[in-house]
Amino acid sequence: MRKPSRALLALILFVTLGAAQGPKKFQPGFNLFSKQQDVQLGQESAAQVRKQMTIVKDPFLNQYVNLVGKRLANSREAQESEFPFTFEVVADPSINAFALPGGPMFINTGLLKAVDSEAQLAGVMGHEMSHVILRHGTNQASKSELIQLPAILGSRMAGGSLVGQLAQLGIGLGANSVLLKFSRTAETQADLTGTHLMAEAGYNPMEMARLFKKLSAQGGQRAPQFMSDHPNPDNRERAIAEEASHLPKRTYSYQTGQFQQMKQVVAGIHEPRPKTAPR
């Protein structure tokens, strides 16, 4: 019997190793904040957001984003984080969403109008939840204020406001805040972890890649806010597709059945001129 060539053996080994690789699992990086301080900071910051931006009170829209969000939050990695995720809709025409440390998420009506499927919305929400799970905001704050933060965080152990103290260091919700402006590496981690949340929830992870490709194509000065706030990693769509190929085989068929009704309701939302919003 003829022995297989070295080239064939190398190919078999490559395919076997690739199949065994499995999905990537990222861990939160260096952090001076406790997880409880992430939650406190997020809740205090969310209270500021509610004063700065127009929160949509429509019961159906809030029920809808909570159905999608809680479906994602039931995934293993989200549950392991132990963060209390919440979901609210903001009347803002810019195509954007953001999540604060510890779990509060705000979804712009502009994003709800822009998505072509529920899975695309789940992709953005899963991406934002992944920033929370991996603690990217407080990780970046820790690295930027390594010297002064320990004293401030230590003094807050007994209670009191974190937001006011951190504002003195320039850490807040303004433009380019380290809490919400992430590196390309952090964006890649959020993309790939987001595919895990989507897949477990029954949404096709490739819908995230399709939405990002659509938003990137708009480009120029009118680029969607999401793309300007979230630096586009190299080969984003290809990386998402590769990660999705390593996930356990599933049928991506979950739908709330309320997507079209959501589109009709959000189309009727009056959006005031954008206020000073977190970026």
Digit-coded pLDDT (tens) for 112-126: 999 999 999 999 999
Using the predicted structure, report yes or no on whether residue 59 has a pLDDT greater than 50.
yes
Tokens 């969310």 belong to residue: 46
Task: Pick the more confident residue, 248 or 19.
Answer: 248
From residue 72, alpha-carbon distances to 55, 180, 181, 254 in Å are 22, 21, 23, 11
Confidence of residue 12 (pLDDT cuts 50, 70, 90): very low
**pLDDT in the model for residue 251:** 92
Using the predicted structure, report yes or no on whether residue 20 has a pLDDT greater than 60.
no
What is the residue-averaged pLDDT of the chain? Answer: 88
Encoding tokens for residue 204? 């096709």
Q: What does DSSP assign to residue 169?
A: T
User: In angstroms, how far apart are the furthest CA atoms of the chain?
Assistant: 77
Digit-coded pLDDT (tens) for 68-83: 999 999 999 999 999 9
Domain boundaries, the chain: 25-249+260-267
- For range 166-182, the mean pLDDT: 80
Tokens 């152990």 belong to residue: 157
Task: Pick the more confident residue, 150 or 42.
Answer: 42
